[in-house]
Structure 1
């Protein structure tokens, strides 16, 4: 099947001297012999926003700087330090380098951009953690069971924007909506990232939820049986 749970340790750090320093120390603590510490920024020039990260990249031979604009390809196994990403950036990084990531630390610039991921992932908190005292409300357990099922059945190497993947996802989301199971697009996206979804698919998933919540019914060629929601409810009760 397509079980893709994230197994490597994760951390989130505040964007201040304490947080950045703690993020560097945390990543160095996950280095093993022969590893490369990868520092990710969206643009090459973004590295200039932090003298600590700039010095880390320029002064150490086992540290490599990659950019999201350049594809974000990770060439060496080891920890990854992402500076100022959003959830779409995390999805893209995991798509192209997930098998090489030994540990992942995210330095935040706008907490709300990654709050759903932090809620679902439960990373170690580095630096000032006061911004994480309030997290995204938890997903309904029935919705979580549906997402678990989709994680196991969707081929994550393919897009869910069309074809079989779209039919599978949209039919499940419509069934949840028609059963009045609450869903939040960003929370669903954060859950998906925390469970190994990558690339654009977590964003597509969130967009489907947002569209359905707005009253739209994305076209799909599959209709689930009447017992689908009952099965999810039983699973949720068993796991409570």
Structure 2
């Protein structure tokens, strides 16, 4: 069940005429009978920054505009979603509030670096100028990947990992064990992976923040004790898989 957010097609588009046109076409191609194409921007006024998107919303009855304000993005009708100038935190919030309604997701970038980890994990269709993604980021270390998969299956994704409780204890104890074993952890790469493997809302962001804190020498509190051979068992699973 941990790939619950990866069952719809994804695309990423450059913010230029070619990329925007391709993004609109890609989303239109994923419309089905009765669907609504939702255009997302962080603020309502942002829509005026792109004439093509503004016209798309204003001239089509099956296209709606939503924003990341007012309690989170709300997609009212099922269909493709076109996120303009979103980052990974925005994607997490969209999935949190509207995941079941998303038929396809396309993100127009404004800063390629902010989306690189998500692009590397989601492997979306590249639209427009794909120069920024010609050299994908390296894959996660196998032992780390094994730990993330186990972590993902263990926690309730309806609960936050930021508050004291089972989910936080599980995540933090595993991250500390990985750090103490010398397993390299990249917070943003892990956030991108989490976004494509069932994590939603602010939890991918919290995961990144925990990793950043631990890499900087902090030790967030965790009340759960892992088996002393936890890392060894992960390595055995990786070896068996190979």
Question: 1:237 deviation in Å?
Answer: 2.4
3-state SS of the aligned residue for 2:24? helix
Report if the CA contact (8 A) 2:5-2:195 is conserved: no
3-state SS of the aligned residue for 1:102? strand
Report if the CA contact (8 A) 2:2-2:197 is conserved: no
Question: How far, CA to CA, are the matches of 1:209 and 1:135 in structure 2?
Answer: 21
Q: Deviations over 1:94-115 (max 9, x none)?
A: 0000000000000000001111
The answer to whether 1:231 aligns with 2:233 is yes
3-state SS of the aligned residue for 1:79? strand
Aligned to 1:148: 149
Report if the CA contact (8 A) 2:5-2:99 is conserved: no
Aligned to 2:137: 136
Question: How far, CA to CA, are the matches of 2:66 and 2:139 in structure 1?
Answer: 33
Question: How far, CA to CA, are the matches of 1:235 and 1:18 in structure 2?
Answer: 45
Report if the CA contact (8 A) 1:159-1:201 is conserved: yes
The answer to whether 1:48 aligns with 2:66 is no
Aligned to 1:107: 108
Aligned to 1:184: 186
| TM score, norm. by length of structure 1 | 0.97
Report if the CA contact (8 A) 2:30-2:103 is conserved: yes
Residues 209-224 of structure 1: pairs in structure 2 closer than 5 A: 209-224=211-226
| TM score, norm. by length of structure 2 | 0.96
Question: 1:3 deviation in Å?
Answer: 5.4
Structure 1 residues without counterparts, runs of 5 or longer: none
Question: How far, CA to CA, are the matches of 2:223 and 2:5 in structure 1?
Answer: 28
Aligned to 2:31: 31
Question: 1:236 deviation in Å?
Answer: 2.0
Question: How far, CA to CA, are the matches of 2:171 and 2:82 in structure 1?
Answer: 31
Aligned to 1:75: 76
CA distance 1:182–1:56, change in 2 (3 Å):
same
Aligned to 1:117: 118
Question: 1:238 deviation in Å?
Answer: 3.2
Structure 2 residues without counterparts, runs of 5 or longer: none
What is the root-mean-square deviation in Å for CA atoms of aligned residues?
1.1
Question: 1:232 deviation in Å?
Answer: 1.3
Question: How far, CA to CA, are the matches of 1:124 and 1:20 in structure 2?
Answer: 14
Report if the CA contact (8 A) 1:2-1:153 is conserved: no
Question: 1:135 deviation in Å?
Answer: 2.7
Question: 1:225 deviation in Å?
Answer: 0.7
Report if the CA contact (8 A) 2:14-2:127 is conserved: yes
Aligned to 1:93: 94
